[in-house]
Structure 1
Amino acid sequence: MSHPVEFPRPSMTPPTATTRTRRWGTVTLLEESQRYRINRIEIAPGEHISTQMHHHRSEHWIVVAGTAKVTCGGEEKIIFQKQSTYVPMGLPHKVENPGVIPLVMIEVQNGEYLGEDDIVRFEPDPDDHDD
């Protein structure tokens, strides 16, 4: 007996990419659906995204240009171009650009809830929101 095949819902991709500017760089929404979001993140040399965690989503970061210094669950590592890292939900994490050129990453967020209110910050920063 065959089972019906379920296909993923069509993505809810914005008609044009939406870019938000932060003190550390930019976030461009490339595509989103109910359970995933794909962003292009650019972090200026010497800048960082504050330490944070999420209860309902994990993140996968792929470095496409530059170098990322990633701290995840207290463990620090350097990620180079063409490399990636996985950030499980529930772990505090931070990414910074230790290099002299912009860090460009593709971020894939995946989870049952992707709302911006699922960001727990460990370093208060008035200009660091919605990242």
Structure 2
Amino acid sequence: MSSLTQDFSTVDTNKNLSCPPQSEVGLSDDRPWGSYTVLEVGPNYKIKRIEVKPGHRLSLQMHHHRSEHWIVVSGTAKVTCDGDEKIIYTNQSTYVPQGTRHRLENPGVIPLMLIEVQNGEYLGEDDIVRYQDDYARAND
């Protein structure tokens, strides 16, 4: 073989099959409360940019398979976590443990923009139990 060719006969073609599909990256979804965009996906993590409209809130919800970290980029967030409420301002963050009832609200007059980092073995959008929802999406 010349120095300009490579022998790929021993390459393990199954090496990265357990990694999440990168096809989610760039995916945006409009929701009644605002929108989100998937920024990055990797093994056991997903990063989203979330925008919540002024005066709107997400479901009171819980995830069986993931935890979440929220970092406020602009605006003000009201976070409910296991019944405790706190206000999170720009450049502040909070952690939502797996299995915890939580809710994110925008009590302000400008859009709330945050970065969400999800960690867990399963990060599907169907890992959600809704307890209360302003848009009639609560689980029965």
Q: TM-score range by the shorter chain?
A: 0.7 to 0.9
Secondary structure of 2:58 counterpart = strand
- Report the equivalent of 1:39: 48
The one of the two structures with greater contact order (alpha-carbon pairs below 8 A, sep at least 6) is 1
Is 2:30 aligned against 1:21?
A: yes
Using the size of structure 2 for normalisation, the TM-score is: 0.78
**Rg (Cα) greater in structure:** 2
User: Aligned in 2, Cα 1:122/1:15: closer, same or farther, shift over 3 Å?
Assistant: closer
Letter in 2 for 1:92: R
How far 1:34 sits from its partner (Å)? 3.2
Question: Unaligned regions of 5+ residues in structure 1, if any?
Answer: 1-8
Runs of 4 or more, structure 1, over 2 Å off, are: 9-16, 124-129
How far 1:115 sits from its partner (Å)? 1.7
Contact 2:61 2:103 in 1 (8 A): yes
Q: In 2, Cα distance between the equivalents of 1:66 and 1:50?
A: 19
1:55 is aligned, of 51, 64, 68, to 64
Greater Cα offset, 33-42 or 91-100: 33-42
Q: Percent identity?
A: 60
After superposition, residues 1-131 of structure 1 pair within 5 angstroms as: 12-14=21-23, 17-124=26-133
How far 1:72 sits from its partner (Å)? 0.3
Q: In 2, Cα distance between the equivalents of 1:28 and 1:15?
A: 9
- Output the aligned Cα RMSD: 2.1
Letter in 2 for 1:90: G
CA deviations over 1:94-116 (Å, ceiling 9, x no partner)? 00000000000000000011122
User: Aligned in 2, Cα 1:78/1:126: closer, same or farther, shift over 3 Å?
Assistant: closer
Secondary structure of 1:122 counterpart = strand
Q: Which structure has greater strand proportion?
A: 1
